[in-house]
C-alpha cells in the first residue's frame, strides 16, 4: 500500500554534535586468551567499544546516533538504509551496513539481520533491551538470521566471554535515523513538514557492575552506565533546512 510521503512538503535537518567540558577517560579491559602453544594464558587488553569518539582539537563527536521520534510511518519517505550484518570475532561485535563498519546499525521493523562469526571459536550473540534472543555461531564463517518485530534499541553482547563487547541495533518503522560523521555533523533529508522530536543518543562507557565465574574468577558479564540521551522539538518547513546542534555530555 503506497504511503502519503510528499517530497514537496518535506524538509531537512542538519546539525553538529560537540563535547563540552573535560574529556572522558574510558577504561580498557584486560582479559586472558589461550596461548597458541597450549602452555597457559596470555593477557591482552581490549578497547572500550562505547568510548566517545572525540576530536581533541574541534571537540566534535563521531558515531553518535540522531533520530526522530513519533513519525507516522505512512508519512515517511521510503526506507533507504542498507541491509545489516553483525560480525563477531577478534574481541569485537561490529555492525556492517553498506560502507559503514561500526557499533550502531539501523534495521527496518519486521526485517532480518545476518549474524556471522569470523573466527574458529564458539560465539553466542545475545540481544537484550527491546528484543531478547541468543544466536549460536559455532565456527568461522557460520551465519544465522534474526527478524526483529518490535521498534526500539537492541543491545548486542557476547554470551561466550567477550564481556566488554557491545553493539546496538535501532529497529524503526521509519528511516529517519543517522550517525554523526568524524566532524560530528549529521543530516536527515525528506522529513515531513511539521513539529517533531529529535533525539541524540550515545552509549554509556563506564562499567557499573560485573559478574565473575565462581571457579575461574574471570569476568563473565558486565553492565555499562546508561546511555546519554538528549531530545528537543524542531520545526520542519517544506523545502527548508532546519539547523540544530547538540552538546555532550
- Confidence at residue 65, expressed as pLDDT on a 0 to 100 scale: 98
pTM of the predicted protein model: 0.93
Residues 6-59: pLDDT tens digits?
999 999 999 999 999 999 999 999 876 666 666 666 778 899 999 999 999 999
In this predicted structure, the answer to whether residue 2 has a pLDDT above a threshold of 80 is no
Query: All 3 cell numbers of residue 70?
Result: 513519533
Task: Give yes or no on whether 1-23+51-77+174-207+222-249 and 80-173 have one common fold.
Answer: yes
Question: Whole-angstrom Cα distance, residue 71 to residue 191?
Answer: 9
User: Where do the structural domains in the chain lie, given as residue ranges?
Assistant: 1-23+51-77+174-207+222-249, 80-173
CATH no. for 1-23+51-77+174-207+222-249: 2.60.40.1120
Q: What is the pLDDT of residues 115-151, one digit of tens each?
A: 999 998 899 999 999 999 999 999 888 999 999 999 9
Q: What number of other Cβ atoms are within 10 A of residue 12's Cβ? A: 16
Q: pLDDT at position 42, please?
A: 76
pLDDT at site 131: 97
Which tens digits make up the pLDDT trace of 71-111?
999 999 999 999 999 999 989 999 999 999 999 999 999 99
pLDDT value of position 41: 65
User: What pLDDT, on the 0 to 100 scale, is given for residue 97?
Assistant: 98
Q: State how far the Cα of 88 lies from the Cα of 166, in Å rounded to an integer.
A: 10
CATH entry, 80-173, from 3.40.50.300, 3.40.1800.10, 3.40.50.10300, 2.60.40.420: 2.60.40.420
Reduced to 3 DSSP states, what percent helix, strand and coil does the chain have, rounded to the nearest 5? 0, 55, 45
Say which residues have a Cβ less than 8 Å from residue 113's Cβ, sequence separation at least 6.
83, 84, 85, 86, 105, 107, 145, 146, 148, 169
User: Can you tell me the distance from the alpha carbon of 33 to that of 14, in angstroms, rounded to the nearest whole number?
Assistant: 45
Q: What is the pLDDT of residue 212?
A: 83
DSSP string for 29-62: EEEEEE-TTSSSEEEEEE--TT--EE-TTT-BEE
3-state secondary structure of 224: strand
Q: Residue 32: its pLDDT value, please? A: 67
Amino acid at each position: 500500500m503506497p504511503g502519503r510521503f510528499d517530497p514537496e512538503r518535506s524538509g531537512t535537518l542538519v546539525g553538529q554534535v560537540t563535547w563540552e567540558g573535560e574529556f572522558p577517560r574510558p577504561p580498557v579491559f584486560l582479559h586472558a586468551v589461550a596461548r597458541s602453544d597450549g602452555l597457559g594464558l596470555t593477557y591482552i587488553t581490549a578497547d572500550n567499544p562505547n568510548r566517545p569518539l572525540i576530536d581533541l582539537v574541534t571537540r566534535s563527536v563521531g558515531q553518535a546516533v540522531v533520530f526522530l521520534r513519533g513519525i507516522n510511518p505512512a508519512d515517511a519517505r521510503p526506507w533507504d538504509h542498507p541491509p545489516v550484518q553483525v560480525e563477531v570475532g577478534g574481541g569485537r561485535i561490529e555492525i556492517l551496513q553498506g560502507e559503514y563498519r561500526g557499533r550502531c546499525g539501523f534495521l527496518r521493523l519486521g526485517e532480518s539481520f545476518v549474524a556471522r562469526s569470523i573466527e574458529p571459536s564458539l560465539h553466542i550473540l545475545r540481544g537484550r533491551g527491546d528484543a531478547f534472543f541468543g544466536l549460536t555461531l559455532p565456527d568461522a564463517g557460520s551465519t544465522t538470521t534474526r527478524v526483529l518485530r518490535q521498534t526500539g534499541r537492541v543491545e548486542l553482547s557476547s554470551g561466550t566471554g567477550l564481556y566488554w563487547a557491545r553493539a546496538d541495533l535501532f529497529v524503526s518503522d521509519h528511516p529517519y535515523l543517522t550517525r554523526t560523521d568524524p566532524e560530528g555533523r549529521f543530516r536527515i533529508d525528506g522529513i515531513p513538514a511539521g513539529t517533531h522530536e529529535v533525539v541524540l543518543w550515545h552509549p554509556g562507557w563506564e562499567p557499573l557492575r560485573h559478574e565473575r565465574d565462581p571457579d575461574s574468577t574471570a569476568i563473565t558479564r558486565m553492565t555499562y552506565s546508561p546511555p546519554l540521551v538528549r531530545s528537543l522539538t524542531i520545526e520542519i518547513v517544506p523545502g527548508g533546512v532546519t539547523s540544530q546542534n547538540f552538546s555532550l555530555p
